[in-house]
Amino acid sequence: MSEKEIDGFSGVATTGHEWDGIKELDNPMPRWWQWTYYATVVWALAYMVAYPAWPLVRTATTGLLGHTTRGDLQNQLAAAEAAKADYVAAVAAKSVEEIFADPELRNFATAAGAAAFRVNCVQCHGSGATGSKGFPNLNDDEWLWGGKIADIQTTIAHGIRFAGDPDTRFSEMPGFRDMLQPAEISAVAHYVASLSGIAADAARSEAGKAVFADNCASCHGEDGKGMREVGGPDLSDAIALYVSDVGEIEQQIRNPHNGVMPGWQQRLGDTTVKELAVYVYSLGGGE
């Protein structure tokens, strides 16, 4: 660059750059701007020393503060765990009835149970716990193994027909295809359908009554209202796990489904099982 050129109008030196006759004045930076700039430089240097900055071959400089994002996450998780530690301890120490009776603890257990439910239970029972054919709806008031909160806890803990737990709930309906004549099976199916108001043939239903009393009442009760102690479902109400018409009832008599639910005690531990029990109970169908 040659000599400094002074702009005649403002008396300020130009930078020497020119665009189509327009020249740029070499005015000084505003002082506040300059000081802010220096401050950012100082900040950057300090940041470089304090925090991880320079990439090395396999790692990077760690910085004096020893900060890592992974460590940050761990700290936050630990803080979250610590924040709920009191509640978790209380859930562990108390019975499910006591937990449910305490509004604050119930709120906590319901929320925790809902979270555990979404991870472990929705695969069969659905995200709204409404179930589907063969998988019970947990919102309604039909309970195969009891709808008291402690009953629910036992069912979740030990499962149903679960081979891995000796305390599991167990019942097994035998297949009647070899024990009863096809006409008898048809008759009793019509009778069972009539109990819960499913369309059925009156004559055959009448004929099935005796067959029912001889073969089914021992588990399902004289009136078909079920026997929980042996896991015999109520056949007289509006809810059925596997059937919705006479044909399906016949199918179920000949060759019954016996659904399996795993026990969760071993996998999730006592506390989570309690939380799940409180959550399921809070869905509205609990007894």
One of 75, 239, 247, 255 touching another protein (CB under 8 A): 239
Task: Write the single-letter amino acid at 238.
Answer: A
Q: How far is the CB of 145 from another protein (least distance, A)?
A: 15
Residue 60 main-chain phi, psi, to 5 deg? -145, 160
Question: Measured between alpha carbons, how far is residue 134 from residues 46, 103, 151, 192 in Å?
Answer: 64, 34, 20, 18
User: Strand, helix or coil at 112?
Assistant: helix
DSSP secondary structure letters along 190-211? HHHHHHTT----HHHHHHHHHH
- The residue (of 21 and 28) whose beta carbon lies closer to another protein is 28
One of 8, 28, 55, 166 touching another protein (CB under 8 A): 28
Q: How far is the CB of 126 from another protein (least distance, A)?
A: 8
User: Strand, helix or coil at 71?
Assistant: helix
Q: How far is the CB of 31 from another protein (least distance, A)?
A: 8
One of 237, 242, 248, 256 touching another protein (CB under 8 A): 237
- The residue (of 102 and 229) whose beta carbon lies closer to another protein is 102
Question: 243 and 189 in contact (C-beta within 8 Å)?
Answer: no
Question: 34 and 42 in contact (C-beta within 8 Å)?
Answer: no
Q: How far is the CB of 229 from another protein (least distance, A)?
A: 18
What is the binding site for another protein (CB under 8 A)?
27-28, 30-31, 100, 103, 106, 127-130, 137, 139-142, 197, 234, 237-239, 282-285
